[in-house]
Structure 1
Amino acid sequence: MQVPFPLDDLALQAPVPVNLWDPHGVLLLRKGEVLLDEQHRQRLQMHRPMADEAEVKAWSFRYTAAIDRMVRANQSLESIAGVARPMGVAAAPEPEHDAPVEVWPDLHDALATLLYQGAQAQGFLPRLAQIERRMARVLQTRVDDSLFVLVQLLQDRRLGHSATHALLCAVVCRLVGPALDLSPSDGDSLQRAALTMNIGMARLHDTLAHQAEPLSAAQREQVQTHPARGAALLQRLGVDDPLWLRCVRDHHAVPEVGGYVDGRTDLDRPVLLLRQADIYVARLAPRADRPSWPAQRAARDAYLGPDGQPTAVGAAFVKTLGAHIPGSYVRLANGECAVVVRRGRRANLPLVMAVINRDGLPLGEPALRDTAEPAYEVKAGVTADTVKLRLPAAKLLARV
């Protein structure tokens, strides 16, 4: 469990006693690195640093033991007062949540049922709210593990594609929204739009993931009209949130040419973020008619606009998710193939677990690699289609 960490208790130029993370699971400062100066401390404070509760408690115990030894040795009060203050963190109540490897498959099943039922869904809004509450609990402390599990689920052709796509899009929008200064209420509306944007074609969405031949005329018409039909269906189910409905209606609109929504050029940031998340997640997913994209290529495409220049949405996207999202695969400088398990403090420095050696053979045990080290530098992204080895997510995450 992650708990708030008081940076004011750390001395400048002294090794940090624990790994520091932001609330979204991005590593801010590694254990053993130092606070350079007060400006460095203030910059980190802006990210609301967190630390693992067990590590904090261990440090507090060492502090208490040090004080006890000094008291027993009859050292002066001045000496005792000079000892760094304890990492006195008041732990928040333990949230009710399961492991991500259990939560997300359950949520997939619940959302798939809701989307399939569509207009016939009973208690649609309360059931969706229940899904969101469970999402919020697991994302409170397990962001990178959640991204890992969802990306791995996205690569599993046996699962219904539409629900996995929606869940990952919703998490991506939830994480990237604050970097675009979206308000909490807009973030809620955007998340709900991501979960339901394809309710107008959920069954077809799953079918097309396994269909190698071109779309029929009827299928093409259903794809073209699903944003408007989805928004109308949601209204019949009781949705009256204008932003939620607008995001669903316009999530395929392209500002330059109108997209599926003829003539729309006034797309705001929530709609643009949902559109980008939809495209990004679709490119990570292997389909019968095309292979998946390496995460690095999908991130680069998200970063640049039609004119080849970075966009505000694209910059926030890559800053938040990194070039290599957890659950994706990379090739390392030493020839190993590794799966990304954590975002790093820089977009191109993820923490990875090597699973295949340079000769293409599975490693006896997955090995944690720090890509900040030259020997384990990321050289290229690897598509999920080309990695035949699949290890249980629980086994991999337990080793991080």
Structure 2
Amino acid sequence: MTALVKLAPGALAVGHPLPWTVYDLNGVLLVRRGYVVQSERQLERLYERGRFYAKALVEEEVPVLAEVPKLVRANPFAEYVTLLQDLENAIDAVMARSEQAGQYLTDLVERLDQLCVSEPDACLALVHNGSREPTAYEQTLFHAIICRIVAARLELDSDRIALLMLAALTANIALIRHLDKLNSSNKGLTSPQREIIHKHPLLSAAAVEQAGLTDPVLLQIIRQHHERVDGGGYPAGLGAADILVEARVLALAERYTAMTSPRGYRKRYRADHAMAEILETTLREPTPRTSHALVKELTTFPPGVTVRLGNGEIALITHRPVAGEAPVAQAIISSSGNPYIGSFFRDCDEHRIEGIVVPDRFPELNLSDLWGYR
């Protein structure tokens, strides 16, 4: 097995993407290749703890840092509207059985995959910041983002990840026209509504297949994404051994997105409450690793949530912990409750996070600025 090599001084720099995936001395993943180092403190921690596999230099042909030009970072916030429009166009193409449906979806998956790999924290922030009043198309995009990030933790191969993301974008096609109305309703479901909900995995799979996307694993993920390991799911009532891991990941992504979004009959869950409930309800499952992967990837304070700091300020989490650090946050509301003009970086080792909060007034924010995109 190739040995882990200690990071050499000068190999990394603040504001540059990591040229290699970085591990600790025991081979535990710290941060993936492409992550942009946020601060000098993060840089120091990576030098203290960081190791990489020397074979990466040969296999990835990564030049030394001095020869790497300053990269223009992909900006998920700037691309958000385009992603949603591309999603709507792709779904329309599927419903129309267009010959271009497969290409539309494949192109969207490839772009979304690139964003999730290079800017995972910003993509997670899209999920949490957008969960205040998401449309059906936004929720669908959130499903795909969460699936991509959890799939990396589960170490699924690239082909299976692509199929999972395709399934996330198409699994609710049979419901997409009705979801906004269903989500905003404070009344019980009618019999016809229950019937279409129960059948939508089969109807969606059929629509996808009729549009020319015939991969059997893709169709199986779609058909199974509401099955449950205890046999109580639908439409087939499958047991744990018969449900693909990808279908379980998609089910979790949908459940988490639904819980953290408002409904006509309830307020939305806080992210930590949603994760706690998911863990509690999957505790007795024979294979709870998918829910554990979700919680580990999102972390205690996911990007995009707001937290109260020890100094009384409310801050927005922008980055998950790296190399043993606390999360990165930007203060957006003062201790007296007044929104700041702009934001202020806060070291969460110095300013302890007391917990997630939902402010009464949420200020208008330029998320691109908060994440340092230029």
Aligned CA distance change for structure 1 residues 7 and 149 (closer, same or farther; 3 Å): farther
Instruction: Please state if 1:339 is matched with 2:313.
Output: no
> 1:305–1:345: structure 2 CA closer, same or farther, 3 Å change rule?
farther
Any conservation in 1 of the 2:46–2:323 contact (CA below 8 Å)?
no
Aligned pairs for 1:219-368 within 5 A: 219-265=193-239, 266-307=242-283, 311-345=288-322, 349-368=326-345
Shift of the alpha carbon at 1:381? 1.6
Call closer, same or farther: CA 1:346–1:30 in 2, change over 3 Å.
closer
> How far has the Cα of 1:115 moved from its partner?
2.7
CA distance in 1, matches of 2:276, 2:221: 24
Q: Which moved more, 1:182-191 or 1:135-144?
A: 135-144
Of the candidates 92, 95, 100, which is equivalent to residue 119 of structure 1? Answer: 95
Aligned pair count reads: 346
Residue 69 of structure 1 is matched in structure 2 by none
- Show the 5 A alignment for 1:52-131: 87-88=64-65, 91=68, 99-116=75-92, 118-122=94-98, 123-131=100-108
- 1:180–1:98 Cα change, 3 Å: closer
Aligned residue for 1:256, secondary structure, equals coil
**Where does residue 60 of structure 2 map in the other structure?**
none
Secondary structure of 1:201's aligned partner: coil
Q: What is the alpha-carbon distance in structure 1 between the residues aligned to residue 87 and residue 215 of structure 2?
A: 20
Partner residue, 1:380: 355
Q: Is the 8 A contact 2:153 2:293 kept in 1?
A: yes
> Cα deviations across residues 129-169 of structure 1 (Å, max 9, x unaligned)?
221232234334322222223432332x3x6x222112121
Match 2:42 to one of 26, 30, 39:
30
Q: Offset of 1:215 from its aligned partner?
A: 2.2
Asked if structure 1 preserves the Cα contact closer than 8 Å seen for 2:282 and 2:288, the reply is no
1: CA distance, partners of 2:37 / 2:279: 21
Distance 1:300 1:162 in 2: 25
Q: Find the counterpart in structure 1 of residue 166 from structure 2.
A: 192
Q: 1:230 to 1:16 in 2, by over 3 A?
A: closer
2:138 counterpart of 1:164: yes
- The 1:282–1:33 alpha-carbon spacing in structure 2 relative to 1, beyond 3 Å, is same
- The change in CA–CA distance for 1:117 and 1:203 in structure 2 (over 3 A counts) is farther
> Counterpart of 1:202 in 2: which secondary structure?
coil
Q: Quickly say closer, same or farther: Cα 1:382–1:347, change in 2 above 3 A.
A: farther
Question: 1:108: how far off?
Answer: 0.8
TM-score, reference length from structure 1: 0.75
CA distance in 2, matches of 1:288, 1:347: 40
Contact 2:167/2:222, CA 8 A, preserved across alignment: yes
Take 1:154 and 1:164, find their aligned partners in 2: how far apart are those partners? Answer: 9
Aligned to 1:75: none
For 1:208-223, what aligned pairs fall within 5 Å after superposition?
208-223=182-197
Alignment partners' CA distance in 2, 1:347 and 1:8: 17
Measure how far apart 1:349 and its partner are.
Answer: 3.2
Give the share of equivalent positions with the same residue, in percent: 24
The one-letter amino acid of 2:108's match is: I
Q: Which AA in structure 1 matches 2:187?
A: E
Distance in 1 separating the partners of 2:46 and 2:74: 34
CA contact 1:200–1:226 (8 Å) conserved in 2: yes
Moved more, 222-231 or 133-142: 133-142
Q: 8 Å contact 2:97–2:212 — kept in the other structure?
A: no
Structure 2 portions without partners, runs of 5+: 19-30, 58-62
Cα separation, partners in 2 of 1:263 and 1:146, compared to 1, 3 Å? closer
Residue 395 of structure 1, CA deviation: 3.3
Q: Is the 8 A contact 1:180 1:313 kept in 2?
A: yes
Question: How big is the shift at 1:261?
Answer: 2.5
Which residue in 2 is equivalent to 1:83?
none
Secondary structure of 1:353's aligned partner = strand
Counterpart-to-counterpart distance in 2, 1:228 and 1:290? 29
- Aligned to 1:234, what secondary structure does the other structure show? helix
- Structure 1 residue 149 and structure 2 residue 161: aligned? no
Once structures 1 and 2 are overlaid, which stretch shifts more, 356-365 or 192-201? 356-365
Q: CA deviation at 1:358?
A: 2.2
For normalisation by structure 2, the TM-score amounts to 0.80
For residues 248 and 141 of structure 1, the distance between their equivalents in structure 2, rounded to whole angstroms, comes to 27
Give the RMSD, CA atoms, in angstroms. Answer: 3.4
